[in-house]
Amino acid sequence: MSVSNDQDIPASGAAGLAGVAAREATGGGRRVRRFSADLSAVGEPALWAFGGALALGIILISGFLFMIAWNGMTTFWPKPIEQVELRDGTVLAGVATRGGPYRVGEDVLLTLDDAQRAEIEGELGIASRTLYKTANFDLYGDDFRWVSDFEVASLSQPDDFWYFERQVWGVFIGRIAGLTVGGEPREMDRALLAREHTAARERFAQMRRLEQREIGAINHRIERERLAQRRAVLRHGEGSPQSQAAIEAAQASIAELQAEFQTLQAQVNEIRATDRQYRIQMEEVGGRVVDIELSQIVRLFPSNDLSLGQKIGIYFSRWWEFISTEPREANTQGGVLPAIFGTVAMTLLMVVFVAPFGVITALYLREYAKQGRITSLVRISVNNLAGVPSIVYGVFGLGFFAYTMGGSIDQLFYAENLPNPTFGKGGILWASLTLALLTVPVVIVATEEALSAVPRSMREGSLACGASKWQTIRYIVLPKAMPGIMTGMILAMARGAGEVAPLMLVGVVKLAPALPIDGFYPFVHLDRSFMHLGFHIFDVGFQSRNSEAGKPMVFVTTLLLLALIVTMNATAIIIRNRLKRKYADGQF
């Protein structure tokens, strides 16, 4: 239908035509952005700020993890030994560990010649230096030495330098001056040395096995008989017929055990006498010689004369030693097997204790308790507990668990051991309970959130079908909430595994090479002290006689602790994801 020219155009149509005309006048429909708007109404600046903050956080975390991984993974790689001749005639040998610039003191500048002084002053008093691990602590009284570049006359890497890792006194760096086999001096031969060293380490392992296992078992049985005498005296009174009979039986058993002890000790003495005939003479760069049993050398190799395959073999043998043996040399060398076991065992025990308490508490607060002021007060208290310093939990665990509960257990069941406490001191059981208290607020909060996320309609449907409230919780609510509960357990596990402060009061020690599992009843000894990787890092980094000697062990132990935490958390995450897939129709 045609429209006459004089027909009125609606107001909306006029506005539309005006908009079309305006777009045509501004360039064919391109939208013009107005920059006069308030920046608070524009999202781009906030988006860039949030993205930049995220990128910065990722960079910092990645850099931190890379530093730990790099230093930890390169710790066990064998490095060359350098012979350094100084301008004053001093000769030293060592492994270069690190270096960098430093400001030379005025007293040092006065001892230099004019050319050296002018060169350093031209660099504004800055010179470079290198830290060498000279080892040989029993001879030098120190493990490291700084050497400035202007002090060095020459550097070399002789092929006859060997790196010795000793059972005691740490590393020795020097040459092989002699070899004694069967009490007779022998010419140095690498094949002979390797064969005799392997046999010597087997003798050393045999002596350790006899002393720690068989003789240790006899000592344990002798102590048990002694305690049986005291127990009989405490129960029946001193001088009673029962106590006299018990004493006579115990003394007869002790006499038999002591005869076995003498037999085993004679075997150990015989092996030790044979072992003394196989010795090695090590000469340091200055000419002093150290003569020790070959069995006391844990590992030896010519650092400057190794093929790539030999270096790889030494690298992995050091890793195997690290994860499978006990520490030595004030924890700066050797392995951390007791610390690995203690960390994993304590964390798993903590999970066993914290899971039921946390879940039951959250179930009561969410499903059973009447919502009111008291319930709100309980929730506020739980949230505040999460902010209490961990050392406070350690003090509580020591006072309540160890001294109160443990002391009571000793009075009731281990009176014959007193005054030596059994449970009335720090132990892996009390440490696990203390960390369970520390992490239970995290589990309670996460479980409550998971329970509240289960739709109410599912509860009502179950109740409408005739199920009781407990049946509804058990078969409907808990399975649907389990992924969220597992999230709380993961957070609790991650925090508990890395805590150190409370453990220092309730059971962790510097050195506990014996694992709390053995062949003596009750086989698992939860009353014993234990080692922990977190405390091991603190001890090596801040309590060792030489921080430089402990620094490599700090990095490699930190790397191992992170790997253990990641492994345990990954296992829990896999379980959580399987639960999510199982109840995929009810994800929340």
CATH number of the domain enclosing 398: 1.10.3720.10
Phi/psi-derived region of residue 183, left when phi > 0, alpha when psi is between -120 and 50, beta in every other case: left
Domain-located, residue 406: yes
Is residue 504 within 8 A of residue 536, CB to CB? The reply is no
Of 276, 310, 345, which marks where a domain is finished? Answer: 276
Domain-located, residue 316: no
For 513, how many CA atoms within 13 A lie in the half-sphere containing its CB? 13
- Please tell me the total count of domains within the chain: 3
What end-to-end distance do the CA atoms of the chain give, in Å?
Answer: 59
Asked if 249 and 393 sit in the same domain, the reply is no
Domain-located, residue 331: no
Q: What is the crossing angle of helices 547-582 and 44-73, to 10°?
A: 120
Asked if 226 and 163 sit in the same domain, the reply is no
- Do the strands 152-156 and 162-166 form a parallel or antiparallel pair, or are they unpaired? unpaired
Q: 283-307 burial, b for 16+ CB within 10 Å, e for fewer? A: bbbeeeebebbbbbbbbbbbbbebe
Is residue 502 within 8 A of residue 397, CB to CB? The reply is yes
User: What's the Cα-to-Cα distance from 267 to each of 201, 216, 256, 341, 586, rounded to whole Å?
Assistant: 17, 14, 17, 32, 68
Of 155, 176, 197, which marks where a domain is finished? Answer: 176
Residue 195 pLDDT: 94
Domain-located, residue 45: no
CA separation for the pair 134, 363 (Å, rounded):
62
**How is residue 339 written in tokens?**
């610390």
CATH number for 138? 2.30.30
Of 442, 429, 428, nearest to 493 by C-alpha is 442
Domain span holding position 122? 82-176
Domain-located, residue 549: yes
Domain-located, residue 552: yes
CA separation for the pair 551, 67 (Å, rounded):
13
DSSP-based three-state secondary structure for 289: strand
Asked if 431 and 558 sit in the same domain, the reply is yes
Asked if 109 and 165 sit in the same domain, the reply is yes
Neighbour order of strands in the sheet with 152-156: 144-148, 126-133, 91-103, 82-86, 152-156
Asked if 412 and 471 sit in the same domain, the reply is yes
Residues 6+ apart with CB under 8 A from 554: 537, 540, 541
Domain-located, residue 159: yes
Asked if 480 and 347 sit in the same domain, the reply is yes
Residue-by-residue pLDDT tens, the chain, 588 positions: 444 444 444 444 444 544 544 454 444 445 545 545 565 556 677 788 888 999 999 999 999 999 999 999 999 999 999 999 998 889 999 999 999 999 988 888 888 888 888 888 888 889 999 999 999 999 998 899 999 999 999 999 999 999 999 999 989 999 999 999 998 999 888 999 999 999 999 999 999 999 988 999 999 999 999 998 888 888 888 888 888 888 888 899 999 999 999 999 999 999 999 999 999 999 999 999 999 999 999 999 999 999 999 999 999 999 999 999 999 888 888 999 999 999 999 999 999 999 999 999 999 998 888 888 888 888 888 888 888 888 999 999 999 999 999 999 999 999 888 888 999 999 999 999 999 999 999 999 999 999 988 888 888 898 899 888 899 998 889 888 888 888 888 888 888 888 888 998 998 998 888 888 887 777 888 889 999 999 999 988 888 777 788 888 999 999 999 999 888 888 888 888 887 787 665 443
Asked if 238 and 375 sit in the same domain, the reply is no
Is residue 281 within 8 A of residue 291, CB to CB? The reply is yes
Of 257, 276, 295, which marks where a domain is finished? Answer: 276
Asked if 119 and 261 sit in the same domain, the reply is no
Domain-located, residue 95: yes
Asked if 415 and 549 sit in the same domain, the reply is yes
Q: 561-587 burial, b for 16+ CB within 10 Å, e for fewer? A: bbebbeebbeebeeebeebbeeeeebe
Asked if 376 and 257 sit in the same domain, the reply is no
Phi/psi-derived region of residue 306, left when phi > 0, alpha when psi is between -120 and 50, beta in every other case: beta
Residue 40 pLDDT: 58
Asked if 504 and 486 sit in the same domain, the reply is yes
In this structure, the number of other CB atoms found within 10 A of the CB of residue 82 comes to 21
Length of the chain measured in residues: 588
Asked if 156 and 204 sit in the same domain, the reply is no
CA separation for the pair 99, 124 (Å, rounded):
19
CA separation for the pair 414, 395 (Å, rounded):
24
